[in-house]
Amino acid sequence: MSKEITSRASDYSQWYNDLVIKGSLADYSAVRGCMVIKPYGYALWENMRDVLDRMFKETGHQNAYFPLFVPKSLFEAEEKNAEGFAKECAVVTHYRLKSDPDHKGKLIVDPEARLEEELVVRPTSEAIIWNTYKGWIQSYRDLPLLINQWANVVRWEMRTRLFLRTAEFLWQEGHTAHATSQEAQQETLQMLKVYATFVEEYMALPVIRGVKSESERFAGAVDTYCIEALMQDGKALQAGTSHFLGQNFAKAFDVKFSDRDNKLDYVWATSWGVSTRLIGALVMAHSDDEGLVLPPRIAPLQVVIIPIYKGAEKKDLLDARARDLASRLKTAGVRVKFDDNDNARPGWKFAEYELKGVPLRLAMGLRDLENNTAELARRDTREKTNVSMEGLVERIVQLLEEIQQNMFNKALIFRDEHISRADTWSDFERLLDEKTGFISAHWDGTAQTEEAIKEKTKATIRCIPLDNVPEQGACILTGKPSSQRVLFARAY
C-alpha cells in the first residue's frame, strides 16, 4: 500500500533505507551527507542516551561540554591523531558574509573576514580537551579526571548512509586522565564493559569484545578496544570503541602531574565513544520485512492500545476501559499510547505500529468488552493471543521482558551460527561468500597480510577477541606461524 517496504531478500540496502525513512526515524536534509533525526528516532536516541548517561555516572564520570571548534594549531599537536582525521575535516576560514554587489539579495563570503587561524570543526575532541586538561591537572590529587560529553561531531564522509555514516552525527565521548598506566587501562576496559552491557541488555544485541589490529586502531591510541555486532546480512558493525591512549596526548599537550613523591610525570589517558550509529545497528539487527522491531527497554513506545468499535455504540465504555488500562500501565512504568485517532481504521493502525516496531499491540473491541478480554499481539514473533483483562498489567510487564530476552536470544543464535572457523584459504573465501558473518582464522600478525586479505576479499580483521584462547597455527594467507585466531568479516 502506501508504505510498502522493500524486502531484505530483494535489496537489503533499500530495506534498511525504507525502515529508517518510513519508520519515521530520520529524513534526508538539504545538506549533503547530513540527516534530520525525526521525533521518533530522537526519542529512541534519548532512551539510549539516558541509560548510558546513568551508567557513566554510576562509574564516576561527570558531564561537561567543550567547543565545536578546534584551532588548527591545537588540532595538529598530536600528529598521528591529526593525520588520521585530516582528510575528513571541515574547516572554518571566515567569520562574516556580506551582500553580493553583483547579485541583489545574495550573500558572499567577505574576503576581508578571513580568520587569522582556521578553526577545525571537531571530528573528535581530544585536542581541545587535552589543551583544557593541561590547566586542570597539577597534582595526583586532581586525578583521576573522569569526564564525558554529549556532542555532535563532523567527519566529511564521501559516501554516507542514514545513521551508519553521516557527515554530522551525535555521540558521547569520554575523556579521562589517570596517574598510572594500569589505572588508565582498567578504565578503558571498564568502559568497554559498560558498552557491551548496554548493547546486550538494552539493545538486545550480542557483541564480541576485542582489541583492534594496528591498522584499525584509533589514530593516536596505544590500544583500541571495540565491541563488534553482527547484522542480518552477515556483515559486522563496530558498535563502540574504547581507547587506551597511553601518554600520547599528555605529551602532545604537555599535561603533567606531581606524584606523591613530588616527581613530575605525564598523565595516562583514555577515550571512548558510541554514536547514533547504534541506531543503525539496532535497525539492521532486529527488524523484519514488516518494519522495525524495537527492544522494549529502549522502544519509545512499548505498548499501543487500539480500540475497535462500530459507530458510537458503547464507544464511551470502550474508551473508558482503554484509558483505565493505559493509566495503570503508566503507573507500572510502561510507555503506552492509546490510539483513539478516528481517521485511521484499525487495520491501518496495526500495519503502522508494526512498521514502527512497537513491541506490544493491544486491540480491544466490543467482543472484548463483553468477555472482559483483549487481543495481544507481539511484534517480535507476530503472535496474537486473546487475554483476560484480569492481571493484564502484570502480564504485559512480564511479556515486555520476555520479548527483550527473546530478541537477544534470537540475535545471539544468529550471531553464533555465523562464527565459522577457517583453516585453509579456500575455506576462508568460501565461508565469507557463502555463509558470511565472522570467520575465525589464524593471521601472521602483520599489517601487510591484513591488507592483502582485505584486497582479495574485502574482509577486515574486526578484532582479536578478549577471551581468545592461544592456539598455535598457520596464517590463513601466508602460512607463517600464528599464536591465535582473529575474527575477520566484511563490515559496515
Partner RNA sequence: CGGGAUGUAGCGCAGCCCGGUAGCGCACUUCGUUCGGGACGAAGGGGUCGCAAGUUCGAAUCUUGUCAUCCCGACCA
Least separation, in Å, of the C-beta of 65 and RNA? 17
Using DSSP bridges, classify how beta strands 69-71 and 114-121 pair: parallel, antiparallel or unpaired: antiparallel
Interface region with RNA, contact rule CB under 7 A, candidates 107-115, 127-135, 251-259, 341-349:
341-349
**Grid-cell match 591537572, residue found:** 137
Interaction residues for RNA, span 368-397 (CB under 7 A)? 368-369, 374-375, 377, 382, 384
Contact 93, 115 (CB under 8 A): yes
Q: Which of 310, 331, 426, 470 binds RNA (CB under 7 A)?
A: 310
Question: Cβ-count burial of 197 within 10 angstroms (0-12 exposed, 13-18 middle, 19+ buried)?
Answer: middle
Interaction residues for RNA, span 241-270 (CB under 7 A)? 241
User: Judged by CB, which is closer to RNA: 369, or 474?
Assistant: 369
Q: Which of 8, 23, 33, 287 binds RNA (CB under 7 A)?
A: 33
Q: CA 192 to CA 174: how far, in whole Å? A: 11
Cα–Cα distances in Å, from 60 out to 54, 144, 148? 10, 10, 10
Least separation, in Å, of the C-beta of 351 and RNA? 3
Check residue 159 for interaction with RNA (CB under 7 A): yes
User: Judged by CB, which is closer to RNA: 235, or 256?
Assistant: 235
For 130, residues 6+ apart whose C-beta sits below 8 A from its C-beta are 77, 78, 175, 249, 250, 252, 253, 255, 269
Number of residues that bind RNA (CB under 7 A): 71
Check residue 219 for interaction with RNA (CB under 7 A): yes
Check residue 123 for interaction with RNA (CB under 7 A): yes
Check residue 311 for interaction with RNA (CB under 7 A): yes
Least separation, in Å, of the C-beta of 314 and RNA? 11
Q: Which of 26, 236, 355, 407 binds RNA (CB under 7 A)?
A: 355
Check residue 68 for interaction with RNA (CB under 7 A): no
Least separation, in Å, of the C-beta of 252 and RNA? 16
Least separation, in Å, of the C-beta of 89 and RNA? 12
Check residue 172 for interaction with RNA (CB under 7 A): no
193, HSE (Cβ side, Cα atoms, 13 Å) = 8
Helix (H, G, I), strand (E, B) or coil at 348: helix
Q: What type of residue sits at position 203?
A: M
Interaction residues for RNA, span 447-486 (CB under 7 A)? none
Q: What type of residue sits at position 264?
A: L
Q: Which of 162, 285, 299, 336 binds RNA (CB under 7 A)?
A: 162
Least separation, in Å, of the C-beta of 38 and RNA? 12
Question: Which H/E stretch holds residue 304?
Answer: strand 303-307
User: Vertex 344, ends 339 and 350: CA angle to 5°?
Assistant: 65
